[in-house]
Amino acid sequence: MACTFLLCLQQATADSLSAYRDGGNLSAALLVLRSEKLILLDHSFEMLLKAGILHRGGLIRERRAKNTVGFDACVQRASNDGQIKFLSNEQALTLQLNNALRDAEQHYLLDIPEQQIYLAVRSGVTLFSDLLRSLFGEDVDAFLPDKNTWSTARNLYIE
């Protein structure tokens, strides 16, 4: 779970910066990267919520439904269902706000300032780390590359 978000985000960053390095437009590369951060964060939370719901004995598929429940239903179950509840009201609100930002950014409804995207991603990573630890006893740091790996990767793309 954690590695899905973190590795996809790392790959998206590398791909966007690589496209710029190969003669692409920096603004276009950064715009794609902005959207991808929010999309990956949102999807990672949906997967983490589903895993948490299942881990607590809940269901993520309605009877006779072809697909599993979506993001909003996951947030509702994780914050309201007494049997499986593992989200506080504040955590649920953070998830809903980040999901709304992802919607607005992905569908070009708003021009969201970079600072607001940073706060959304930062709060999301913090919440993701907290939930991963409380639900599964996993530490998000275990999925991150060490400092030397990040430095080497950064130097490859920012020459």
Domain assignment of residue 89, yes or no: yes
Six-digit token pair at 122? Answer: 């930062």
Distances (CA, A) of 61 to 28, 54, 56: 38, 10, 14
Domain assignment of residue 98, yes or no: yes
- Secondary structure (3-state) at 44: helix
**What per-residue confidence (pLDDT) applies to 122?**
81
**What per-residue confidence (pLDDT) applies to 67?**
93
- pTM (two decimals): 0.75
Going by C-beta distance under 8 Å and a sequence separation of 6 or more, which residues neighbour residue 13? 33
Please give the average per-residue pLDDT across 64-91, as a whole number.
Answer: 94
User: How many CB atoms within 10 Å of residue 28?
Assistant: 12
User: How many CB atoms within 10 Å of residue 43?
Assistant: 15
Domain assignment of residue 91, yes or no: yes
Domain assignment of residue 150, yes or no: no
User: 61 near 68, Cβ under 8 Å?
Assistant: yes
Domain assignment of residue 103, yes or no: yes
Domain assignment of residue 6, yes or no: no
Condensed to tens digits (0 to 9), the pLDDT of residues 91-106 reads 999 999 989 988 887 7
**What per-residue confidence (pLDDT) applies to 23?**
53
Domain count, the chain: 1
**What per-residue confidence (pLDDT) applies to 41?**
82
pLDDT of 62 over the 60 cut: yes
Please give the average per-residue pLDDT across 134-148, as a whole number.
Answer: 77
Please give the average per-residue pLDDT across 77-97, as a whole number.
Answer: 94
Q: Nearest to residue 52, comparing CAs of 145, 123, 127? A: 127
Condensed to tens digits (0 to 9), the pLDDT of residues 48-57 reads 999 999 999 9
Q: Nearest to residue 16, comparing CAs of 28, 3, 4? A: 28
Six-digit token pair at 26? Answer: 């920096």
Six-digit token pair at 108? Answer: 């070009």
Instruction: Provide the residue range defining the domain that includes 132.
Output: 32-143
